Amino acid sequence: MAAHRPFWRPCLLALLVLATAACGGGQDGGQQAQDGSGPTRVPPAPPSTTPKPAVPPTQRQLDGVAVRLLEIAQLDQPVALTVAADGTTLFVGERAGRVRVVREGRVEPRPLLDLSGEVVTEGEGGLLGLALAPDGRHLYASFTDRRHAVRLVEFAVAGHAASAASRRDVLTVQQASVRHHGGNVVFGPDGLLWLGLGDGSDGGDPADAAQSLGVLNGKLLRIDPKPAGRAPYSVPATNPFVGRRGARSEIWAYGLRNPWRFSFDRATGDLWIGDVGQYVMEEIDVVAPSRAAGANFGWRRLEGRRRFKGSRPAGAVPPFHQYNHNSGRCAVVGGHVYRGRQVAGLDGAYLYGDVCDGHVRALVRVPGQAPRLRDLGVRLPGLVSFAEDGAGELLLLSLSGGVQRLAAAG
């Protein structure tokens, strides 16, 4: 397989985010979910007020799950989504840099934000991530600019309106190429902002950036985005590399190649990461909050569990799950642990996908046992991202244009 594999793929009608291998067979590039249900428009599910227990489903429960995809809206290459303070309105980021408001299945004609004048979509670039602060008053967006840098910016939000004049630049990270940006933005259970960054290389991470604590590429960052004096943000004193000579204090974890979507289990706080591989392996990592600080996930020394370049780092966190490209898959799309109420039998299962085949799969963590796995039998061409609504129900985004909701079949 060639080292410079095309990332944005014409076989999905739109340029595809994340792909690092040849396009999988059977892609039809359609704009509808291929589950036989057709594009049914439904309003967002109401918020749940009942806490869900952190008990994983049995294999029998998992095998009995029947789901479908229901279309919520059609947009122009949606790649990122966050939920407004009301818990139901969606802020959806389009790859070209516009952030659209979706209310009760209707796309508002006026964008919440329009960054298309500075967002560059070359290679794997574009708008990469969105997150609304816990207080609902500030929206954060990450995107790539003309210098191949990943930029994190902040805007004040009131209800469903953002103030362009309030824009504040929080962080800019230069990268060496138009590939492997990462860019996911999440507010964690601690109320702090987490930003995932890829190694930024064209392939192979020749600078060994992911293992270097002196640079931010190939890392998971944890910051307080509020200004601190003249600084645009502050670093929590509990970050693992604070005070270490030669290390960037923003770093929480390292050794990542291209973390395309990470999330926290809202019931347990566990951190789940989908990290896109190089030639052979895609990996899913999971660490408990108590073990996440300073974690090294191994890239570029390791690709999944296999050695890639150099020796295995001491204490490297092995993947919880890995898979190869033999079945037509090529680039993992990290998802969420399901904590909604609409699909019986899925509570506690981690749902994820892959760019090339678009299938939605469930992965269940069982202490002391092999993971439970199941393909849920639904497929979304152009699958590029997962998100949660205020009720913990899962949303799926496709570069073919659709925003879909996972629902129980029938």
Q: Is residue 389 part of a domain?
A: yes
Q: Is residue 294 part of a domain?
A: yes
The Cα 54–Cα 266 span in angstroms is 9
Residue with tokens 């227990």: 53
pLDDT tens-place string over residues 256-289: 999 999 999 999 999 999 999 999 999 999 999 8
**Number of domains forming the structure of the chain:** 1
CB 179 within 8 A of CB 205: no
Task: List, in order, residues 6 or more apart from 266 with CB less than 8 Å away.
Answer: 189, 337, 339, 388, 392
359: containing domain: 10-408
Q: What is the CATH number of the domain that holds 75?
A: 2.120.10.30
Residue 327 pLDDT? 87
pLDDT tens-place string over residues 6-54: 333 333 333 344 443 333 333 333 333 333 333 333 333 433 334 444 6
Residue 290 pLDDT? 84
Positive or negative CA dihedral for 205, 79, 389, 190? positive
Cβ of 274: how many Cβ atoms within 10 Å? Answer: 28
Q: Is residue 2 part of a domain?
A: no
Kindly write down the DSSP assignment for every residue of 43-104, as one continuous string: PPPPPP-SPPP--PPPHHHHHT--EEEEEEEE-SSEEEEEE-TTSS-EEEEETTSEEEEEET
Element (DSSP H or E) covering residue 292: helix 289-292
Q: Is residue 56 part of a domain?
A: yes
The total number of residues shown for the chain amounts to 410
pLDDT less than 50: residues of the chain: 1-53
The Cα 176–Cα 218 span in angstroms is 12
Tokens of 247: 């290390």
Give the residue from 192, 183, 261 showing the smallest Cα distance to 233: 192
Residue 367 pLDDT? 87
Give the residue from 130, 119, 216 showing the smallest Cα distance to 171: 216
Task: List, in order, residues 6 or more apart from 21 with CB less than 8 Å away.
Answer: 1, 5, 279, 325, 330, 331, 356
Q: Is residue 5 part of a domain?
A: no
Q: Is residue 1 part of a domain?
A: no
CB 322 within 8 A of CB 281: yes
Give the residue from 280, 267, 232 showing the smallest Cα distance to 392: 267
